[in-house]
Chains A and B, each alone.
Chain A
């Protein structure tokens, strides 16, 4: 994939993710939007590593320019973190669903205003 295409796609993903995050009222959808948005940021970093006619940044692949290896290393870390975050967030959404029987943010907020049991 060319660098510029990847860049455009990255910004599109970020936009779609953030849009979902704001417009959807369901917590699961919000988390999905969040994940799509961070995929956008990740794709953006991958696109940054692009050099015209470059080989992968692995030693022993021969001469010529190689892609920038640093963003790849960053992306790997970011992907792992995103996975951990999503898993943890889903656990707490499950707890909320079990105890309040809804994943709707506005309903949760309205209920909270009217008072929740302490436990």
Chain B
């Protein structure tokens, strides 16, 4: 435990020192300390209380912690390489943000998670706005207001749970076998879920996410989609440990998955399009958490962090290099490294073998009930159909900078290949043919859908706020009804 906490402290301390001077050196120092700390406690440690009994904050390291630490540290390394020329406060802010994420991955206390979620959203706002683009600032303000409302609901729910059960520790709540038939508790848990869901970016009120992630500077998009939304996901996973809410999470996952795809199908802006797919892929992760497929959900979260990081990095390079955000306007204008990276990322997210998406989707679907499997196939179909419009972009033109792209590509391919080799059922011929059939059907669907663009409701702040409050009420109702 001491090793993990010193890793977090090193990150926060180095981040703060970086504001004073030598930001890149301190970032690198934090990364080294973080990797050292990870190696010192891997593969995990049992729960311990920081600050002594009985008021200490519970921390523990399980699979989620391990996965998110590895992902966070890896993305930090990529950004250190890719953004080494950035002189402003990017590096210190990134270091503090990753330190916060590392802390959240360790935490097993509802209030501690609340504080860390708050801190993540504040840092994310500053990073989103750091490009000084007006659209990014506006997206960031909307993001801040929504997450703050969500976290206020979360605090209220936390109070209700504490008032009834007298504890905020995930493990002691899990050990108690909470009965959600009690309406007060049902409301409390509904509010907790709604609050964590805003931070994660679940549909429909999570439609802040594509704008915020899409309008942010390139490196920031990588961080946000790679690791920050996963902190929301891990909070939901902790809530699912503490309370019997699996079915509710599966329902939220399905809505989120299809909602994200629906908007992504017709989106024209490349980065916002990728943002919508962060929403849709969160649906997968949530379905996995809800079904209790812990390994699958975790693997998908890590794999998504890698290939979405790759896609955002490539898309950012393309958008900044060409001065053009529209997908149609970028066709045939990308440099070879960017086009290759976009291709690898697309191959992975559609779930074609043997990359990370294929491996993670396979493990996630294992042991899922039949109807859920068909939902997952439908989600893959939608993902393939919407990514089909990137095909014209894959024709490269000229050379360009490779930067951190190669590192991420290696990770996407390595993780996919490694998991595929370790899981023998993934080497089955049927498992390999199926994704290609889905991708083919997706392409056909794309050709069919290209004809007409429906008028989808626009995301506005007021609609998001109303839908958030509505969702909190529906969640509370659904939870007490289900028990």
Contact = CB atoms under 8 A, between A and B. Distances in A.
Contacts of A62: none
Contacts of A2: none
Contacts of B173: none
B326 to A, nearest CB: 13
B138 A119 contact: no
Contacts of A42: 155
A64 interface: no
A26 to B, nearest CB: 12
B138 A112 contact: yes
A30 B119 CA distance: 21
B122 interface: yes
B133 A119 contact: yes
B432 interface: no
Which among B115, B135, B461, B466 has the greatest number of chain A C-beta atoms within 10 A?
A: B461
Contacts of B138: 96, 108, 112
Nearest to B135: A116
Contacts of B198: none
B134 A99 contact: yes
B135 A37 contact: no
Contact of B125 (A31, A88, A109): A88
Contacts of B119: 81
A34 B126 contact: no
B222 interface: no
B122 A100 contact: no
Contacts of A100: 134
Interface in B73-132: 111, 114-115, 118-119, 122, 125-126, 129, 132
A84 B126 CA distance: 12
Interface string B125-156: 11001001111011011001100110010011
Interface in B136-190: 137-138, 140-141, 144-145, 148-149, 152, 155-156, 158-159, 162-163
B148 A34 contact: yes
A30 B125 CA distance: 17
Interface string B441-468: 0000000000000000010111001100
B208 to A, nearest CB: 13
A16 B114 CA distance: 23
Interface residues of B, number: 36
Nearest to A48: B163
A57 B159 CA distance: 19
B70 interface: no
A45 B163 CA distance: 9
A22 B462 contact: yes
A18 B134 CA distance: 27
B394 to A, nearest CB: 26
Contact of B152 (A38, A74, A84, A99): A38
Which among B115, B135, B145, B469 has the greatest number of chain A C-beta atoms within 10 A?
A: B145
B173 to A, nearest CB: 15
Interface of A: 14, 17-18, 21-22, 27, 30-31, 34, 37-38, 40-42, 44-45, 48, 69-71, 73-74, 77-78, 81, 84-85, 88-89, 92-93, 95-96, 99-100, 105-106, 108-109, 112-113, 116-119
Interface of B: 55, 111, 114-115, 118-119, 122, 125-126, 129, 132-135, 137-138, 140-141, 144-145, 148-149, 152, 155-156, 158-159, 162-163, 458, 460-462, 465-466, 469
